[in-house]
Structure 1
Amino acid sequence: MPLDRPAGVRRRATTLGLVGLLAALATAPAALAAPVPATVPAAPGTAAGTRLDDVRVLAHFDRAAGQVAESIAPEPGGSVVIGMISARQVVRVARNGALQVLATMPPPPGGGTTTPVVGAPDVTGVARSASGAVYFLYSSGRGGLTGIWRLRRSGGPRLVVPLPADTFPNALVIDGGRHRFLVTDSAGGRIWQASLSGGKASVWSADPALAPAGFFGANGMKIHDGAVWATNSDRGTIVRVPVTEDGGSGRAEVRATGLEGIDDFDFTGRGTEILAAINQGSELVRVGADGGHETLLDADDGMQGTTAVIVRGSRVYVTNGANLAGDDPTLMLARLQRR
């Protein structure tokens, strides 16, 4: 961006672009593109910390059909489940890149124009329980549709935890130790909780560090080291919220700053070292324990509106939504090398 452009102008332009794109994609017909294997150059090593190599495209998606890849839930054997924002889909990508649509959510009455922030219905976060059940989030601007849904072996998905119509549920995490779901609400700047058995949700944390500053607040989320960690997209921060002995939330602390447009993230297995997806900058960055960060992958490596990252052993899955840059949403796979 030009150095003389005010920061507020930049955020407003980006926000309006995303809203317009999501609204346009919501009206596109659903379709799937055949995966085309590809390889991109490996990221250079870093002097200290994690590096990535063997970076390649595992699957291509159809942006015109609304397949803006948003979130990732890994499965045994190397397949992953992905939420597709404007296609309102949950899909599975096999280890060989083959795609399977698991569910397509119907548009709400009125088309979902009352969906908070974006004005279009979206499937966002996905999660898989220890028993293999797959859950996902649907934001529709309508009560009775917005909330946590479960895929079923037969029949359509079932709503298990309704959320208020004015929420934008974004990231979904299963806290198995406390038998609960945790959900970030990007519109309200909150984290909700609900029993894995289903039923009514309640606000777990509404700490000011989670609040939006004009668009999206709390976004990505993970549980790590006795705390819930979340990103704040507007503020460009990673926030740590301690979990109290009774399962409640403590006071949030900001652990990293300067990450404007951050979306999802995951821990590398080296303490609190993080890999973070920067949607606005089309980057995958490494965030150290001290909050310092460096870019590992960028547009030259195939990043386009990077949305999510999941680390499983030495395998790193990255989704590119191509919502703010480019036209090729993808699932990428890289090998993690820890130093």
Structure 2
Amino acid sequence: MIRLPRSAGISAAALALGLLATAPAAGDEPTVSTPRVVAHFDLAKGESPENIALEPDGSADLTFSTARQVVNVTREGRKRLLATLPSVPDASTPVVGRAVVLGIARAQNGALYVTYATGTRATGIWRIPAGGGRPRQIALLPATGFPNGLALDERRGVFYVADSVLGTVWRVPRAGGKPTAWATGAALEPRNARPAARVGANGLRLHRDAVWVSNTNAGTLLRIPVRRDGSARPIETRASGLYALDDFGFVERRRDTALVALTGGSEVALVRPDGTHQVVLDRQSGLSNPTAVAVRGRTAYVTGAAYFTQKDPNLLLADVRQRARH
């Protein structure tokens, strides 16, 4: 998400505070600890990290939204530029007015795919060769939209893309080509009347035979089960009251426990399978407007874009531990 104003509404903030879970942690609930910032970035160069894809070696591939770059960052904080998306002089992107690179997905062969929002025919999915190189557009998405979260389902051979402005989850063949509006509806649509704050469907992940999507304006985490024929089942709301929710990552493969980035309040919350939630990381942990979370084993990766704080965009790691079940 790019620079969502806190003016999304006092009522939204009040709702979030009112619904914030205060229940004690369950005996088998994951715990998050030892947060540490491993890399700092430069706002003056447009280095606002927006999304994450993890490499087998534990390094992270990040999209720098306004710099239009994709970089690799090791767990020790070493940075390497992988690609720069082409400049678009006539960009008229909804919400932000300029070209931005947003979602990212990694294929098993190492190729990277990103969503590029420009307000022109350059809007769509772009492919970056394994190890970095020249990006190439493989799919065109509506210039009037804002393609954001991205996931690759290699088993079915398709991408899913969350469009924050058009309130749509697009499905695109992996080889590229014509997109299909796979899921639509009020649950995915933006709720704010102000054009610069209209951000609906945002983050997107595949988890347990379903496409999961966050709606930033609504503060909801949604689940869309995938039928055997690949079509979408009805949208389910699995959690609400998540103020300025951006992207998220799942902690466990067999349960619907997630860590979600609450960018407006510089917090990360643990969302339980029953939809209750509690903050587990905050500004004191080092967060600066977090935009995405990815989890690999016992490590959580969190990008902080500093869209509102305008201070210390970074990559933060934290330990995730599963308590023993009784």
Q: TM-score range by the shorter chain?
A: 0.7 to 0.9
- The answer to whether 1:170 aligns with 2:153 is no
Deviation at 1:155, TM superposition (A): 5.5
Alpha-carbon distance in 2 for matches of 1:249, 1:99: 39
Gap change, CA 1:295 and 1:228, over 3 Å in 2: same
> Which residue pairs with 1:337 in the alignment?
321
Alignment match, 2:298: 314
Q: Give me the TM-score of the superposition, normalised by structure 2.
A: 0.88
Residue 166 of structure 2 is matched in structure 1 by: 188
Q: RMSD across aligned C-alpha pairs, in angstroms?
A: 1.8
CA deviation vs aligned residue, 1:213-258 (integer Å, no higher than 9, x gap): 1210001111112211100000000011111121011110111000
User: 2:80 aligned with 1:80, yes or no?
Assistant: no
Q: In 1, Cα distance between the equivalents of 2:213 and 2:227?
A: 16
Aligned pairs for 1:156-235 (under 5 A) are: 156-214=134-192, 215-235=198-218
The one-letter code sitting in structure 2 at the alignment partner of 1:69 is P
Match of 1:108 in 2: 88
Per the TM alignment, residue 106 of structure 1 is displaced from its structure 2 partner at its CA by 2.7
Quick one: percent identity of the two aligned structures? Answer: 43
Amino acid at match of 2:281: L
Contact (CA 8 Å) 2:36, 2:285: kept in 1 or not? no
In structure 2, C-alpha distance between the alignment counterparts of 1:96 and 1:224, rounded to whole Å: 29
Runs of 5+ in structure 1 lacking a partner? 1-7, 14-44
| 1:241 and 2:220 are equivalent in the alignment | no
Other-structure match for 1:257: 240
Distance, in Å, in 1 between the alignment partners of 2:265 and 2:47 is 20
Supply the distance in 1 between the matched residues of 2:210 and 2:83 (Cα, whole angstroms).
32
Q: Once the 2 structures are TM-superposed, how far is the Cα of residue 54 of structure 1 from its aligned partner?
A: 2.4
CA-CA distance at 1:152 after TM superposition? 2.8
Instruction: Considering Cα pairs closer than 8 Å and 6+ residues apart, tell me whether 1 or 2 has the greater RCO.
Output: 2
Q: What SS class does the counterpart of residue 7 from structure 2 fall into?
A: helix
Structure 2: distance between partners of 1:266 and 1:12: 26
Pairing partner for 2:128 from 151, 155, 160: 151
Q: String of CA shifts for 1:146-205, please: whole Å, max 9, x gaps.
A: 111111368521001111111111111001111001100001111001111111111110
Q: 1:335 offset after TM fit, Å? A: 1.1
> Are the counterparts in 2 of residues 170 and 184 from structure 1 also a CA contact under 8 Å?
yes
- C-alpha separation in 2, matches of 1:52 and 1:170: 27
CA distance in 2, matches of 1:142, 1:225: 35
Instruction: State the Cα distance separating 1:107 from its structure 2 match.
Output: 2.4
Q: Which amino acid aligns with 1:74?
A: L
Change (3 A) 1:65 1:257: same
CA contact (8 A) 1:115 1:166 kept: yes
d(CA) in 2 for partners of 1:147 and 1:298? 33
Shift of 1:117: 1.4
Q: Following TM superposition, by how much is the alpha carbon of 1:207 offset from its aligned partner in structure 2, in angstroms? A: 2.3
Contact 1:286 1:295 in 2 (8 A): yes
- What pairs with 1:113-128 in structure 2 (closer than 5 Å)? 114-128=92-106
The aligned counterpart of 2:114 is 136
Letter of the 1:265 counterpart: F
Read off the aligned partner of 1:158 and give its amino acid letter: R
